[in-house]
Amino acid sequence: MKLFLGIILFLSASLFAGNPIIVVIDPGHGGSDPGHLSHDGKHLQEKEINLKIAMKLGHYLENNIQNVKVIYTRTTDIYPSLDRRVEIANQKGVDLFISIHCNGSPSENSYGTETHIYDRSSKESMKWAKLIEKEFKSRAGRHSRGIKTNSDRGNTLQVLKYTKGTSILVECGFLSNPTEAVYLNSSKGQDLIASALFRATRTYLQKKYPNLSFQIPQNSEPKTEEPRPEIAENEAKFKVQICSSSANFPTDGDKFSHLKYKVHQVEVSGKVKYKYYLGPFKSKSEAEDAMKNAQNGGYKDAFLVPL
């Protein structure tokens, strides 16, 4: 019996070798279909927010997990029909499918996140959905309205019904709620929502495929000499790394505008091309204050770097 199980596990691992898990990300609406609008019409339309969150999620997956391939149903302001979205997913051999939306209500008092599955017999979708709602609360600080099904929603949830892989649809908050509309329109809010989705998806993959490594090796990035900050060498003692990315973000752009301290960019070799720092600082207490500011500003993994 043990030999049989060992053979099954070996074959399963061999099956996935060289064949990444296919994650299809579907930014809801698009083109002539704007989706929900904010309570006052002054903010981005739902289709725009959906796309921003979708692209951020894809970026997190592509840069922080190996053995995963990300496919989008759209990357620009176009409207693929529901049939076309399903077709894209199924043609690509989808393993995980996530459709990203924002909610709306006649009442400005409605708020919170929801994760939709087709029905409660969708066991794998239910597991993923539970992880997502958990991360929406813990990572993004959102109020969870729970997991819903097609009967709760009152429609067929076509993209979930006909997609062959494990599939979910997320409602990231209510654009009809003034406070939540501001959050969803902010770069910080979008980052936190995408980060919550990423963390939940990573956990789900690790549990579903225990024999497949999703961890990018720590030594995969060649060591390089980073330029020294413009401060006297005998004075600089710490800096704070807030994030790393393959994307070249302007240090004075919206991504960092809410932080108290000036952001510096350092270019490195490897898959992660850029690292972003605060500082340098002369004292550890000052550096710790900057680190806390970054963590409170959404960069939960910020850490001190001794110089």
Q: What are 4-46's pLDDT values in tens digits?
A: 445 444 444 434 446 899 999 999 999 999 999 987 778 899 9
Same domain, 107 and 249: no
Q: Is residue 64 part of a domain?
A: yes
**Which token pair is 73?**
């149903």
Same domain, 204 and 248: no
d(CA 122, CA 220): 37
Distance of CA 106 to the CA centre of its chain: 28
What pLDDT is stored for residue 270 in this prediction? Answer: 67
Q: Is residue 230 part of a domain?
A: yes
d(CA 129, CA 150): 14
What's 228's domain CATH number? 3.30.70
Report whether pLDDT(232) > 70. no
**Which token pair is 215?**
């961890």
Same domain, 52 and 195: yes
Same domain, 142 and 225: no
Q: Is residue 117 part of a domain?
A: yes
Q: Is residue 30 part of a domain?
A: yes
Question: pTM (2 decimals)?
Answer: 0.68
What pLDDT is stored for residue 202 in this prediction? Answer: 95
182: nearest Cα among 99, 257, 111, 251: 111
How many structural domains are present in the chain? 2
Query: Can you give the three-state secondary structure of the chain, one letter per residue?
Result: CHHHHHHHHHHHHHHHCCCCEEEEEEECCECCECCCCCCCCCCCCHHHHHHHHHHHHHHHHHHHECCEEEEECCCCCCCCCHHHHHHHHHHCCCCEEEEEEEECCCCCCCCCEEEECCCCCCHHHHHHHHHHHHHHHHCCCCCEEEEECHHHHCCCCHHHHCCCCEEEEEEEEECCCHHHHHHHHCHHHHHHHHHHHHHHHHHHHHHHCCCCCCECCHHHCCCCCCCCCCCCCCCCCEEEEEEEECCCCCCCCCCCCCCCCCEEEEECCCCCCEEEEEEEECCHHHHHHHHHHHHHCCCCCCEEEEC
d(CA 300, CA 243): 9
d(CA 27, CA 170): 10
Q: Is residue 3 part of a domain?
A: no
Choosing from 162, 177, 208, the residue where a domain stops is: 208
Domain that holds residue 224: 219-306
Same domain, 73 and 35: yes
What pLDDT is stored for residue 7 in this prediction? Answer: 45
- pLDDT single digits (tens) 102-160: 999 999 999 999 999 999 999 999 999 999 999 999 999 999 999 999 888 767 789 99
- pLDDT single digits (tens) 166-221: 999 999 999 999 999 999 999 999 999 999 999 999 999 999 998 888 876 554 33
Same domain, 250 and 286: yes
Same domain, 117 and 248: no
**Which token pair is 102?**
């924002």
Same domain, 180 and 226: no
Choosing from 208, 230, 257, the residue where a domain stops is: 208
d(CA 293, CA 216): 28
Same domain, 189 and 48: yes
Q: Is residue 12 part of a domain?
A: no
What's 47's domain CATH number? 3.40.630.40
Choosing from 176, 208, 240, the residue where a domain stops is: 208
Same domain, 175 and 298: no
Same domain, 104 and 238: no
